Amino acid sequence: MRRLTLILSDLYLPGEAVSAGALPKAIALPGLDRLLRFARPEPLHRDWRAWLARELGCGPIADLQPAHLCALGFRLNPAGSWIATPVQLEARLDHVRLLDRGLKRMLPVHRAAWIAEFARSFGPDLALVDAGEQGFLLQGGPGADIGTVDPARLIDADIGVALPAGSAAALELRKLGTEIEMWLHSSETNALRQRSGLAPVSALWLWGGGAVAHTVLPPEDNAIAARRIHGSDPFVIALGGLARRPGTMTPMPVRPAPASFAELGDVVHAYVQVSPMSGPEPESLHALESNWFKPASAALLQGGLSEFDVIANDVRFRIAPRSHWRFWRPRRSWLESIGHAPATPKA
């Protein structure tokens, strides 16, 4: 029997909207409606990253700051490490907004050019490290605890309340972010993106770092050979660098997310991270509905899956083959199910 965990890594709902009953109108996703209607929701301890790290046997480092675990996965010093996510911002009359679809993906040639260009402008004290198509890892930033926010939580929202504030270190990180924005404004690589028909990057959103608590590595043999990891988030890629096949020093490869459930093949347990609110078309909600939600629902009924987990909005929705026996549960849209699940409060 197989298990599948599908992580919708950028699907968050504003807490104020949920508490006020002001959920936006949901697009029709009947397959996801049905799955979530019969699911058992469980709030995540912190977020999907910490949950996944524990699931994969990372032990004492599972609760490290995301940038610190990323640094370990890329064999770098965690001190001064920050995730640097390319974002597109827009100045409005009274605030600055992270645009809808504003988390930008980078082609390998653009990432390499940007890293070299950044080194000429900010090196040797600061450096960008390639962390995959969804961003970079910044080395050399402030090493103090600073409250920051995953930009996936700010899609199509005012960024003002999420900017670092309250301490000298926070102001230092904010100043660095501003300097990087100015650099990007005149960046040759940004101009190359625009000539290629791609949207420019307004800023590198720095987040997920802080003071280093410890750098304990996970056990070399964490018994995950029967599992498979898919995704493009820097944290997911870093987990692949930390995870080892049992009895070997070989890292677990992280593959791109398959286009459909059928492409997973015969694997015992797969973790698939997708970005429906900011990723490419195959990861959009409409594509996930036809290529993942409906086929997974059918596989549960036919015995091809023993469990299907959907992670969204800081909640794990667990669906078992006999979940449909909970027929008394009221019908409601997937957005209502996600919005009214018992999530853990987040900053």
Please check whether residues 91 and 189 belong to one and the same domain.
yes
Report the range of poorest mean pLDDT among 28-37, 88-97, 106-115, 209-218: 209-218
Q: 324 or 267: which carries more pLDDT confidence? A: 267
Tell which of 207, 228, 245 closes a domain.
Answer: 207
* The total number of structural domains that make up the chain: 2
- Token reading at 164: 């670092």
Whether residue 216 has pLDDT greater than 60: no
In a domain, 344, yes or no: no
Instruction: Report yes or no on 212 lying in a domain.
Output: no
Q: Which amino acid is at 288?
A: L
Residues 45 and 114 occupy one common structural domain:
no
Residues 39 and 163 in one domain: no
Residues 73 and 200 grouped into a single domain = yes
Shared domain for 177 and 226, answered yes or no, is no
pLDDT band at 217 (very low <50, low <70, confident <90, very high): low
20-34, 171-185, 238-252, 326-340 — which one is most confidently predicted on average?
171-185
- The reply to whether 7 and 75 lie within a common domain is no
Identify whether residues 83 and 162 lie together within a single domain.
yes
The sign one gets for the Cα dihedral 61, 63, 67, 68 is negative
pLDDT tens figures, 55-73: 888 877 888 999 999 999 8
Q: How far apart are CA 299 and CA 304, in angstroms?
A: 5
Count other Cβ atoms within 10 Å, centred on residue 103.
22
- Select from 16, 11, 23, 81 the least CA-distant residue to 339: 23
Q: Are 87 and 203 in contact (CB under 8 A)?
A: yes
**Token pair listed for 319:** 């669906």
Q: Specify if 52 maps to a domain.
A: yes
* Residue 345 domain flag: no
Summarize pLDDT for 134-170 with one digit per residue, the tens.
999 999 999 999 999 999 999 999 999 999 988 999 9
pTM confidence score:
0.91
What is the domain extent for residue 328?
Answer: 2-64+217-339
CA pair distance 98, 155, nearest whole angstrom: 6
- Average model confidence (pLDDT) for the chain? 86
Mean pLDDT across the stretch 183-204?
92
Residue 96 and residue 28 share a domain: no
186 in a domain, yes or no?
yes
pLDDT band of residue 27 (cuts 50, 70, 90) is confident
Last residue of a domain, one of 141, 175, 207: 207
Average confidence (pLDDT) over 28-37: 89
Distance CA 172, CA 314 (A): 30
- The reply to whether 93 and 203 lie within a common domain is yes
d(CA 251, CA 248): 8
Domain boundary among 207, 237, 253: 207
Q: Measuring CA to CA, which residue among 187, 11, 4, 201 is closest to residue 87?
A: 201
Judge whether 212 and 143 are in contact, CB under 8 Å: yes
Residue 184 within any structural domain of the chain: yes
Give CA–CA dist 81/29, Å, rounded: 39
End-to-end CA distance of the chain: 38
Please tell me the distance from the alpha carbon of residue 48 to that of residue 313, in angstroms, as a whole number: 9
Domain match, 193 and 273 both: no
Same domain, 59 and 86: no
Is 174 inside any structural domain?
yes
Looking at the structure, tell me whether residues 190 and 266 fall in a common domain.
Answer: no
Phi/psi for 84 (5° steps) reads -120, 100
60/317: higher pLDDT:
317
Question: In sequence order, what are the residues at sequence separation of 6 or more whose Cβ sits closer than 8 angstroms to the Cβ of residue 184?
Answer: 190, 200, 201, 202, 203, 204
In a domain, 288, yes or no: yes
